[in-house]
Structure 1
Amino acid sequence: MLYLIAEHLGFPGVLNLIRYLSFRTGGAVATALLIGLIIGPKFIGWLRLRQGKGQPIREDGPQTHLAKRGTPTMGGLMILTALSISVLLWMDLANSFTWVCLFVTLAFGSIGFLDDYDKVTKASHKGLSSRIRLLLEFAVAGFASWLVIRQIGTELYLPFMTGVSIDLGWFYIAFAAFTIVAFGNAVNLTDGLDGLATMPVIIASVAFLIIVYLVGNVRFAAYLGIPHVPGAGDLAIFCGAIIGAGLAFLWFNAPPAAVFMGDTGSLALGGALGAIAVTSHHEIVLGIIGGLFVVEAMSVIIQVFYYKRTGKRIFLMAPIHHHFEKMGWAEPTVVIRFWIIALILALAGLSTLKIR
């Protein structure tokens, strides 16, 4: 919105700064952070008043989690509010990629909200049926992928190789939709401990802020041998808003958490990262940068698959962060060590930009 106003006025004086993507990205971080910190206390109080008992806690989980009873959920609404206002304020309203990513984020957040609402009202951790939820997610992701490929094409680019791609044709829509849905649910599965999902999402957003900026710049893209996507650079503003909103939420989500993001936040943030990766032609790199989320999701898939066929468990409890809790690791130990892993994987993902 500010960009549209400044452009209409001809970028006079200090408004000329808005012309620069780096300035608007910094503005998006600061705006989302400030909004989140301001609305946080009242928002949490409102959630606590409305929800009463808060998010249901699994009886079969680590016993230390029972102390979290009464903590309100749906804190993702706070993240989405700060993120949306910041993006709309600093984005170029003519950039269709930003609109698509915002659509996926808010739509996935709405699906997560329905799931959280069902859990809270029924005092059960089950929520919506997985079939309905996946159907809604794939409908949103499929439509978004169709919108994106009309501008970026259907090539799947391979990391570590310069200019090597596979044209998937219309199958790319299914692949892109799967990427968005899979990552949304992977982040959702990771969100089980205070701050566990929030910081890795912030780390992944920092990595993709760099990637989309480079992908959107024709000179940098040519130098690094990565696909150039005109207009993708504006997604740096979107990544910045995620970072700012995530930091604000972490302020209240730090142990002991005053609020949980719930499916409202985790599905939305995971879907957002998936959409950004698809738009920037870095879907495979997302699997490296967000490797922690991939491992969390795979631990659940492996556990369920193995248990159904043998009646035995590979992990003491899935997702895998609960396995380490059952082994005796304190919750802050699990969280901080997983943060370190997320940072290492993000650096490994960024290295693909040069190792080609």
Structure 2
Amino acid sequence: MFTYFKNYLKYVNFFLINFKIRSIMTFITSFNITFFLIPIFIKYFYKKKISQVIRENGPITHFVKKKTPTMGGIIILLSIFISVIFWSDLSNKYILYILFITFLYFIIGLIDDFYKIILKNSIGLTAYKKLFLQLITNIFFTLFMFINNKKELYIRFIIPFTHKIIKYNLNIILYIIIYSFIIIIISNSVNLTDGLDGLAIMPVIFVSLGLTCLSYCTGNIYFSTYFNFVYIKNSKELIIICLSIIGSGLAFLWYNTYPAKIFMGDVGSLSLGCMISMIAILIKQEFLFFIMCGIFVIESFSVIIQCIKFRYTKKRFFLMAPLHHHYELKGIPEPCIITRFWIVSLILILLTFMII
């Protein structure tokens, strides 16, 4: 009996040490969980008549989607959490940080989606209530990070195409404000982008792929020196989370691509936006991260520009915001818009590595 137990520990130790095996298995695990659970989820939600609530003032073409199940983000996050917990080193504090704050954003997104389903409107939680919950979550969490990361209380920028570095030490107020802003702006931008079939999930996959490379470089002392990055000892383990997002995202895209059989809902978009933001913050690549997330940022700014323009002039800058709706109303087919946004997202990832 003792021999069997000893052999078992030997195999467990082998898997923990062999990072390549864990990385591959993370991708496979998250992909398979999502791929095989989504059809069950779709059938259950069809049976319970839990479907997407379409905004009344949205494009007319979207009304055919009103019976499409939503909240597929539950399966995405479930597969990510299972694969990360099973294959990652849970003694790594970075892993625990990301899982904890992502779970809090998962709860916020879940409440928002339930409000939409129960009240039968496309608004859910009002913007103020949603931002308030996110702000409270971020204040407490960033305060916790500030207390437990005494050696990492700075923000760092590399000037593009040069080796010049701007490094600024942060006090507690700036630390909370800057990192709360990054998480809130990106999570809500992913949420705004998730308006067409597969539009948000593919850029999330591209960004996660970029973060995989950045996490590897910052976690390797030789690559970090070569690329002029800060060497962060524990950051290599974040590749496990990145690959779980990619695996789960690709499986979800199988069912979310045009015409979508399921949507991820706010529970998915807010959580994924929070997760990729936290990875970028922990590896100290906030500047490059905003370039990679250019599609999300543009979508978000299109809404801000529309609101400001309408408030002061009573006229609209775009036919409809976010930006992808503007192109819909100009008569461009939905698959065409989606594919072009994917292309731009991929170009931004490549541009990021050109800057490096």
Please give the TM-score of this superposition, normalised by the length of structure 2. 0.93
CA distance in 2, matches of 1:271, 1:331: 27
Whether the aligned pair in 2 keeps the contact of 1:187 and 1:270 (CA below 8 Å) is yes
Q: CA deviation at 1:112?
A: 0.7
The 1:265/1:332 distance shift into structure 2, 3 A limit, reads same
The 1:165/1:46 distance shift into structure 2, 3 A limit, reads same
> Is residue 127 of structure 2 the alignment partner of residue 127 of structure 1?
no
Q: Which residue of 2 aligns with 1:87?
A: 84
Structure 2 unaligned residues grouped into runs of 5+ = none
Query: Which shows bigger deviation, 153-162 or 342-351?
Result: 153-162
The 1:232/1:47 distance shift into structure 2, 3 A limit, reads same
One-letter amino acid of the counterpart of residue 214, structure 2: I
Post-superposition Cα deviations, 1:258-282, rounded to whole Å, max 9, x if no partner, equal 1110100000000111111111111
Q: CA deviation at 1:163?
A: 4.3
5 Å-filtered alignment, 1:313-328, equals 313-328=316-331
Q: Which residue of 2 aligns with 1:144?
A: 141
> Is residue 153 of structure 2 the alignment partner of residue 154 of structure 1?
yes
Q: 1:306 aligns with which of 284, 305, 309?
A: 309
SS at match of 1:193: coil
> Is residue 35 of structure 2 the alignment partner of residue 32 of structure 1?
no
CA distance in 2, matches of 1:312, 1:266: 30
The 1:294/1:64 distance shift into structure 2, 3 A limit, reads same
CA distance in 1, matches of 2:354, 2:153: 24
Q: 1:179 aligns with which of 178, 182, 186?
A: 182
Q: Which residue of 1 aligns with 2:96?
A: 99
Q: CA deviation at 1:313?
A: 0.4
Q: CA deviation at 1:54?
A: 1.2
CA distance in 1, matches of 2:142, 2:124: 27
The 1:289/1:94 distance shift into structure 2, 3 A limit, reads same
Q: Which residue of 1 aligns with 2:46?
A: 48
Q: Which residue of 1 aligns with 2:223?
A: 220
Query: Which shows bigger deviation, 269-278 or 166-175?
Result: 166-175
The 1:133/1:8 distance shift into structure 2, 3 A limit, reads farther
Q: Which residue of 2 aligns with 1:57?
A: 54
SS at match of 2:35: helix
Q: CA deviation at 1:348?
A: 1.3
CA distance in 1, matches of 2:244, 2:7: 21
Post-superposition Cα deviations, 1:159-214, rounded to whole Å, max 9, x if no partner, equal 23454311122212210111011110000000000000010000000000110111
SS at match of 1:164: strand
The 1:9/1:40 distance shift into structure 2, 3 A limit, reads same
Q: Quick one: percent identity of the two aligned structures?
A: 38
CA distance in 2, matches of 1:214, 1:178: 25
Q: Which residue of 1 aligns with 2:291?
A: 288
Q: CA deviation at 1:351?
A: 2.7
One-letter amino acid of the counterpart of residue 109, structure 2: G
Whether the aligned pair in 2 keeps the contact of 1:215 and 1:227 (CA below 8 Å) is yes
> Is residue 76 of structure 2 the alignment partner of residue 74 of structure 1?
no
One-letter amino acid of the counterpart of residue 184, structure 1: S
Post-superposition Cα deviations, 1:103-158, rounded to whole Å, max 9, x if no partner, equal 12221111011001000111101111222211211222233333444335221111
CA distance in 2, matches of 1:263, 1:53: 14
Whether the aligned pair in 1 keeps the contact of 2:16 and 2:89 (CA below 8 Å) is no
Whether the aligned pair in 2 keeps the contact of 1:100 and 1:147 (CA below 8 Å) is no
5 Å-filtered alignment, 1:206-355, equals 206-353=209-356
CA distance in 1, matches of 2:271, 2:15: 31
Whether the aligned pair in 2 keeps the contact of 1:6 and 1:16 (CA below 8 Å) is no
Whether the aligned pair in 1 keeps the contact of 2:50 and 2:70 (CA below 8 Å) is no
Whether the aligned pair in 1 keeps the contact of 2:319 and 2:329 (CA below 8 Å) is yes
Please give the TM-score of this superposition, normalised by the length of structure 1. 0.93
Query: Which shows bigger deviation, 18-27 or 168-177?
Result: 18-27
Q: CA RMSD in A?
A: 1.9
CA distance in 2, matches of 1:58, 1:310: 24
